[in-house]
Amino acid sequence: METVRADVAIIGAGGAGLRAAIALAEADPKLRVALISKVYPMRSHTCAAEGGAAGVIKSDDSLEHHFNDTVGGGDWLCDQDAVEYLVQEAPKELIQLEHWGCPWSREPNGSVAVRPFGGMKKQRTWFAADKSGFHILHTLFQTSLRFPSIERYDEYYATDLIVDDGRCQGFTAIEMRSGQMKRFQAGAVIIAGGGAGRMFPFTTNGAIKTGDGMALAYRAGVPLKDMEFVQYHPTGLPNTGTLLTEACRGEGGILVNKNGRRFLQDYGMGPETPLGKPVFKTMELGPRDRVSQAFWHEQKKGNMLPTKWGDCMLLDMRHLGEKTINERLPLVRDVTTSYLGVDPVTDPVPVRPVVHYMMGGIHTDIRAATPLAGLFAAGECACVSINGANRLGSNSLTELLVFGRRAGLSAAEYVRSARPGNDAALEAKATAAQARIRSLFEKTGGKESTAGLRKEMMATMEQNAGIYRDANGLSEACTKLGELRHRYAEVELNDKTNVYNTDLLQALELGSMLDCAEAVTVSALARTESRGAHQRLDFVERNDTKFLRHSLAFHHPAQPPRVDYCDVVITTSQPGVRDYSGDHK
């Protein structure tokens, strides 16, 4: 098998992967960095992030405020040492991006502009219109072109990590255009493969978000942490699930039910704030978990508006006026007009909650290191954990910068003392991985199709692992996913060509999603409490005595995952009550 040798190999070239690559190149230009991605870097899902990135920059704000907002927003499941590191590094990273050319929106005096975001006590969300992720991704991609030590492998799909001598030393990957498998041998590997929202049918996530990076680490024995925490974004387009950024509400948009009532005041987020004058951490600027949960209750009360796309609430931005909408939310106007035929300047936009983000992911420590030597992870695929039980909007772009860089620096340090690998042993493991792919590729007489199993998985997740959960539904989902895991072995491909085989790719992606989905449901069933985005109808209270802990799901090839727990790191903030009610802050 053809071997590509690098000092550090990175899987995923979205925001986190590119930031890691640049950190490596800056740390030591002699390190050979291989950056592989299943898509061209600028196609990565970072490009779809809209609202912005949080970092303390204005004089009325403080690191302590950002820390407290994040830890409280995460319902105290965040590791506080990691949050301290995040808030301290955030402004440096955002300024660094500015120096690299990121076209941040500006104040009249030429300084960067910031906007309010849900669950944040001050204005600290840096933005570039409502295409912040797009501009961050392009700025990182462009900057990466300056460094000759970064070698890109675009449209390569990683299939298996290669672990030998107790450490990760590379992986196998399929070059899509030729269908050839290659062995990447590296002193260290960084996974930056993004989230797994596509295991649900209704999601803001693009088609590529299939949890491949998470599944790679998981199958290699690294636990997935806090997978039961799946974030619903309250304002998705009801037909496609396309995201309408929280900045709609940050700029002053309001949410009303079918009776025209701003219903969030009935769910502990009141009192009602004046129209067009959003108040921090109140009403429409409540955290995503609470706002999405309010939708669920309103539906039970029959207060949602029936539309041809299902029951919706209305996001009303008319009072913002055409000028503000065009300047600050151009993409929102574009998207609602093209996909729904609704212009936010003249009409309220129907919305409903949509799967958006995985708080959980590959278990890493504050150095972005996993328990497997030589393996690091950052971005949405990782759980470090700064998001705890509920991520605050605009912390994820910051996270991928801060911990993308950290992963790069940690890997650079690690490879300095890494011993050379045993070529023969590594080659043998790569050959075994190749045999696994070949048997899927060549299988005949299989009874199952990728599309069929995928539909069943999505239906199960939607039905049983949504905003509110209970033991019955989750048990049913666990059983169903176990069954799908068995049936997956019976998948037969129709397309047996080597060149750019998307049928094979989709089958492999389904395998990743099934692994992630099982980790979600098994961890959710085991967590018999309600915290942040994980709400149990049968265990409605938060239980700090038993569950102020991270769950860790360990992979088993033929059985459901085993769930274990580890402690949450608490430095200064003891668990308290999350208060989003007006002036009680």
Partner 1 sequence: MRLSIYRYDPDRDAAPRMQDYQVALEPSDRMLLDALVRLKEQDDSVSFRRSCREGVCGSDAMNINGKNGLACITKLAELPDHVTLRPLPGLPVIRDLIVDMTQFFRQYESIKPYLINDTAPPERERLQSPEEREHLNGLYECILCACCSTACPSFWWNPDKFVGPAGLLQAYRFIADTRDQATSERLDSLEDPYRLFRCHSIMNCVDACPKGLNPTHAIGKIKEMMVRRSV
Stretch that binds partner 1, among 63-71, 94-102, 212-220, 536-544 (CB under 8 A): 94-102
The binder of partner 1 chosen from 81, 311, 495, 544 (CB under 8 A): 495
Nearer to partner 1, 101 or 306 (CB): 101
d(CA 245, CA 243): 6
The binder of partner 1 chosen from 1, 207, 435, 537 (CB under 8 A): 207
Q: Which DSSP category does 58 fall into?
A: S
Using CB atoms within 10 A of its CB, is residue 308 exposed (0-12), middle (13-18) or buried (19+)?
exposed
CB 197 within 8 A of CB 521: no
Nearer to partner 1, 57 or 168 (CB): 57
Confirm or reject binding of residue 42 to partner 1 (CB under 8 A): yes
CB 100 within 8 A of CB 145: no
Please, what sign has the CA dihedral across residues 295, 300, 305, 306?
Answer: positive
The binder of partner 1 chosen from 47, 384, 457, 478 (CB under 8 A): 47
Residue 321: its H or E element = helix 321-328
Confirm or reject binding of residue 335 to partner 1 (CB under 8 A): yes
Nearer to partner 1, 331 or 355 (CB): 331
Confirm or reject binding of residue 337 to partner 1 (CB under 8 A): no
The residue count for binding partner 1 (CB under 8 A) is 56
Nearer to partner 1, 339 or 554 (CB): 339
Confirm or reject binding of residue 500 to partner 1 (CB under 8 A): yes
For residues 224, 229, 230, 234, the Cα torsion angle rounded to the nearest 10 degrees is: -160
Q: How far is the CB of 444 from partner 1 (least distance, A)?
A: 15
Angle of helix 450-464 versus helix 471-488 axis, rounded to 10: 170
Contact letters (x/-) for partner 1, 445-464, by CB under 8 A?
Answer: -----xx-------------
Cα 319–321–322 angle (5° rounding)?
150
Confirm or reject binding of residue 557 to partner 1 (CB under 8 A): no
d(CA 230, CA 202): 13
Per-residue b or e along 172-182, where b marks 16 or more CB atoms closer than 10 Å to that residue's CB: bbbbbeeeebb
Stretch that binds partner 1, among 255-263, 334-342, 362-370, 527-535 (CB under 8 A): 334-342
Confirm or reject binding of residue 210 to partner 1 (CB under 8 A): no
The binder of partner 1 chosen from 2, 108, 277, 323 (CB under 8 A): 108
Q: Which two tokens stand for residue 262?
A: 């701003």
Nearer to partner 1, 309 or 468 (CB): 309
Confirm or reject binding of residue 157 to partner 1 (CB under 8 A): no
Nearer to partner 1, 236 or 253 (CB): 236
Residue 414: its H or E element = helix 395-416
Residues recognised as catalytic: 233, 249
Confirm or reject binding of residue 40 to partner 1 (CB under 8 A): yes
Q: Could you give the 3-state DSSP secondary structure of residue 263?
A: helix
Confirm or reject binding of residue 338 to partner 1 (CB under 8 A): yes
Confirm or reject binding of residue 424 to partner 1 (CB under 8 A): no
Pairing of strands 310-316, 349-358: antiparallel
Contact letters (x/-) for partner 1, 294-333, by CB under 8 A?
Answer: ---------------x---------------------x--
The residue length of the chain stands at 585
Residue 158: its H or E element = strand 156-164
Nearer to partner 1, 109 or 346 (CB): 109
The binder of partner 1 chosen from 104, 156, 376, 488 (CB under 8 A): 104
Confirm or reject binding of residue 180 to partner 1 (CB under 8 A): no
Stretch that binds partner 1, among 236-244, 259-267, 364-372, 467-475 (CB under 8 A): 236-244
Q: How far is the CB of 113 from partner 1 (least distance, A)?
A: 8
The binder of partner 1 chosen from 502, 543, 571, 572 (CB under 8 A): 502
Residue 551: its H or E element = strand 549-554
Stretch that binds partner 1, among 279-287, 317-325, 499-507, 516-524 (CB under 8 A): 499-507
d(CA 529, CA 416): 44
Angle of helix 15-27 versus helix 395-416 axis, rounded to 10: 40
CB neighbourhood size of 331 (10 A):
18
Restricting to residues 123-152, name those near partner 1 by CB under 8 A: 131, 134-135, 142-143, 145-146
The binder of partner 1 chosen from 65, 100, 151, 297 (CB under 8 A): 100
Q: Which DSSP category does 223 fall into?
A: P
Q: Which DSSP category does 152 fall into?
A: E
Q: Which two tokens stand for residue 89?
A: 């590094």
Residue with tokens 């929280």: 246
Q: Which residues bind partner 1 (CB under 8 A)?
A: 39-40, 42-45, 47-48, 95, 98-101, 103-112, 131, 134-135, 142-143, 145-146, 177, 206-208, 239-240, 242, 309, 331, 334-335, 338-339, 450-451, 493-495, 497-503, 506
